[in-house]
Chain A
Amino acid sequence: MLNGTEDEEKWLAEGIAGIQHNAFYMHRALDSNNLREALKYSAQMLSELRTSKLSPHKYYELYMRAFDELKRLELFFKDDSKHGVSVVDLYELVQHAGNILPRLYLLCTVGSIYIKSKEAPAKEVLKDLVEMCRGVQHPIRGLFLRSYLAQISRDKLPDIGSEYEGDADTVMDAVDFVLQNFTEMNKLWVRMQHQGPGGVREKREKERSELQDLVGKNLHVLSQIEGVDLEMYKETVLPRVLEQVVNCKDDLAQYYLMDCIIQVFPDEYHLQTLETLLGACPQLQPTVDVKTVLSRLMDRLSNYAASSTDVLPEFLQVEAFSKLSNAIGKVIEAQLDMPAVGAITLYVSLLTFTLRVHPDRLDHVDQVLGACVKKLSNIPKLEDSRAMKQVVALLSAPLEKYNDIVTALTLSNYPRVMDHLDIGTNKLMAMVIIQSIMKNNSCISTADKVEVLFELIKGLIKDIDGADVDELDEEDFKEEQNSVARLIHMLYNDEPEEMLKIICIVRKHTMVGGPKRLPFTVSSLVFSALRLLRQLQGQEGDIVGEEASMTPNKIFQLLTQIIESLSAVPSPELALRLYLQCAEAANGCDIEHVAYEFFTQAFLLYEEEIADSKAQVTAIHLIIGTLQRMNVFGVENRDTLTHKATGYSARLLKKADQCRAVYACSHLFWVDDQDGIKDGERVLLCLKRALRIANAAQQMANVARGSGGPVSLFVEILNKYIYFFEKGNKQITSSAIQGLIELINTEMQSDSTNPDSVADAFLASTLRYIQFQKQKGGVMGEKFESIKL
């Protein structure tokens, strides 16, 4: 047994040699029209097929050789001018062979000619052949023999419209013949499992699956018979095939044949015989992979339904859904040990089916999901990853179909299915949902739906007990949370009342997200609320007083609470930005004390939480920027705030930062609006202070490094000067600008060791600007005229 394959090769080679040897003599006999010799050598040649030593694969090779030779022999038999024997006599003559296998191969060969000659009714010959073939009970040899019979008889069946159809020969005979051959072949095939050389089970199953197509071929032939119409299929073909399938009690055969039936016969037949076909499923062996069979069936029917809308009424008429649904229920009930993945796969197929066939029947979808929940609830914990995948597929299907999460949200069983996912998968599914929303740009517009939606994606919203936090991948997490943040923007309703509800719900859900999630979600939420605020303002005219519950004040309170939650994170930078945003919104709403409050909060954060100097720089610029745009404040408040801001600016760590912050503060005193504050003196004060700081920075640099400091600071300040000069600040004079230019030039020259090309270019373009303004003439030109370069 060690070199089994080697031996097999040898045996095959011997067999082929035997065939070739005898075929040679057979050809000689054929050429000399010697019938007796031809029969003798063909029988000897066919005797090579009697071997038991070859695996199906190798035997097939041998069979094909013999098959080719038989075709030549058939041509010879056909021409009775060559051998002078009538086909009837020939039919007897070949039966004189002593060995059964050669005898039957020859009989089939002559039989096909016999039918062709029409000297006997086709059905008689066919019946005789299929009966005589019973003599070969060896599985492999029998299968090949009968496969040969099927092959040569294919074009000679008395089908409707065929030349062999006659009074005596009806399509029924053709069907009977094929069915009988099929039954016998299947029996042989099943028997292989229990007979034959004692081998390993896997090996035997492998060998059998190599032969399956020989058996399936018969079903294919049946499907090709024109005369098999729906009626006949329903009354005869299907029941008999199924009877054989069920009775053979062999899992391999049952699986293969069920699949075969589904694949070879037309969809409309399946639809009309659904009950019969499905009725067979619970009768199959428990080890049969019924789920795949049913899935395939449903896939086919789905595709059929999708192919044309004309067929949909048929589906309704036969109540395809309820039949399938029942069948699946029965199968799952019957196969207790079916793994969860199997059951869920079935549900996925059913769902796909109903989505394709009855897209309008949401109740069907919900029903499927409900059944799935029922199944899942019997399983303590779903740990099979494949099952998980199937659940995801199950949940994704409606999303894909309807392109609209809103529809899915109306399915009461949807969240219940999601509950059965493990945490990772749950998140995955939540992501799928969010992506679906994003992709389709669908807007969730009622509070109820939002509630459901957040229930669905709660895996992303908060930590679920038992989740292993360490496992989380930072990138994935960010991705997830960004998605949630994007999602929040999709929740929108034109009706402020409803929108407020939505925001409250979102807030309720996101607030439990914990410190890691809040930074992502809070900003979205804040902006969402701010949008509501703007919305409210837009409508203010119409609804004044009517909705006392909906005041900007209330929203601001809400906002404050939301932002405050960030303190737990803590994420002061973000909170600061959000406060500033709110302040600006309050500004828009013209509510001074609220705006002031927000600024206070921002300043507090700056003072207490923001310690990093870089963050401080950013923060101070933000504060200045926002403050600059505020017009709601009265003088007192504004002074307080600007004073604070300038104070912070001057206390920054690095001189350069100080300088920049200070000159930025100058804008706080010069708002380029109609009724904006225009305090030229304080602007100049700021700029001078900035210059001082720049000077100091320069000196410090000289002392510390022996080289020139940042000349660019001066250029920047120069630009500020020019800005205010242009804007008409009387305190900024052309001479001051000129002085500054000279100062810069001096600095540049002294700092020849370390030329700063950026600063040079900056200065050059600034000077060019002045030149340009001069040349332009007009009021501005005159103003600039006094600056000498």
Chain B
Amino acid sequence: MNYLVGAFKPPCNIFISFADGRSRKQVPLKKENGKTVMVALFQSQESIVGEVVIEPVHRKKVEHNGVKIELLGQIELYFDRGNFYDFTSLVRELDIPGELYERKTYPFEFSTVEMPYESYNGVNVRLRYILKVTISRNYVGNIVEYQEFVVRNYTPPPSINNIIKMEVGIEDCLHIEFEYSKSKYHLKDVIIGKIYFLLVRIKLKNMDLEIRRRESTGSGPNTYVETETLAKFELMDGAPVRGESIPIRLFLSPYELTPTYQNINNKFSVKYYLNLVLVDEEDRRYFKQQEITMYRLLETS
């Protein structure tokens, strides 16, 4: 077996590293095989500087038609598997065609790269950034190595952030008034609010607040919408009476949320909703969904 593996093993190892790799913040990234790895974190307008080390295996000579490094921003739609839409593609030539005999280091730099979209790993869509090193060869296949990294973009706190307040109900049955302190939340925010019961004629069992993520991909007739419930937070246990006011305090930090994404490259959108669910004793559900905007606030720490 070793022999066989060895036979198809690429004739050289390629290592990609960032210049500030030691000091740069690392974030976890879920790979396709389900494993989580730590990768470097960047934001838009940053320069991506580093070096590529190529080391031939067993000191064998490697002939090539040139070495290049690409920075790719890709959107991958799962229903359209295999098709990547590159919305960003930058190339640097690292070497002219020739032969490699020994370990060789190529520095590279993409300065102030425009990376408008954040990395995203959804149900039907993935947006990722990769560095791709290609050693082009004749006759035999190219040798390719990828290094993924994550991009997150920060937004300042919104200047307008209205409260969400609404009275809803079923006539002569249930009237409530709910209030969330804001309509826009950063990812580590706290949702503060209350639910005021104006009229209760049904026997309620409990009340939950759900955070739902709606991911829509594609466009026109080929639109796929996937909704997931990311959080289910019990607000109330038991049946309230008229006049009760139930407090809401939901910390968002434990949940894996992303900012709201609006029509990313005409390929997908991600929206967040607060869903207030009241359940009665016969397990009937009464709910009211409100969209909230999520944004990423620069963490000061």
Interface residue ranges, A against B (CB under 8 Å): 50, 92, 95-96, 98-101, 103, 131-132, 134-139, 141-142, 187, 191, 195
Contacts and interface: CB of A to CB of B under 8 A. Distances in A.
A107 to B, nearest CB: 10
A141 B206 CA distance: 13
Q: Name the prevailing secondary structure of the A interface residues.
A: helix
A604 B247 CA distance: 105
A98 B238 contact: no
B180 to A, nearest CB: 16
Secondary structure at the B interface, as helix, strand, loop or mixed, is strand
Contacts of B234: 98-100, 103, 135
Interface string B11-36: 00000000000000000000000000
A100 B235 contact: yes
Contacts of B206: 100
Listed residue (B235, B238, B253) with the most chain A CB atoms within 10 angstroms of its CB = B238
14 contacts: A92-B251, A95-B251, A96-B253, A100-B235, A132-B249, A134-B244, A134-B245, A135-B234, A136-B236, A136-B237, A137-B240, A138-B237, A141-B237, A195-B239
B80 to A, nearest CB: 36
Given A96-B254, A98-B233, A101-B237, 7 more contacts: A98-B234, A100-B234, A134-B246, A137-B236, A137-B237, A137-B241, A139-B238
Given A134-B244, A134-B245, A96 B251 contact: yes
A137 B245 CA distance: 10
Nearest to B232: A98
A100 B237 contact: yes
B249 A141 contact: no
Interface of B: 203, 206, 231-241, 244-247, 249, 251, 253-254
Which 8 pairs between the two chains have the least Cβ-Cβ distance? A138-B238, A137-B238, A100-B234, A137-B240, A96-B254, A136-B237, A99-B234, A100-B237
B239 A135 contact: no
B144 to A, nearest CB: 40
Contacts of A136: 236-238
B247 A132 contact: yes
Contacts of A138: 237-239
Contacts of B237: 50, 100-101, 135-138, 141-142
B232 A142 contact: no
Contacts of B244: 134, 137
Nearest to B206: A100
Contacts of A187: 241
Nearest to A191: B241
A270 to B, nearest CB: 32
A724 B236 CA distance: 115
A138 B249 CA distance: 19
A50 B232 CA distance: 17
Contacts of A99: 234
Contacts of A103: 234
B177 to A, nearest CB: 15
A602 to B, nearest CB: 91
Contact of B239 (A92, A132, A137): A137
A139 B249 CA distance: 22
Contacts of B233: 98
Nearest to B197: A137
A136 B239 CA distance: 9
A138 B241 CA distance: 11
Q: Which residue of B203, B231, B236 has the most chain A CB atoms within 10 A of its CB atom?
A: B236
Contacts of A95: 249, 251
A199 to B, nearest CB: 15
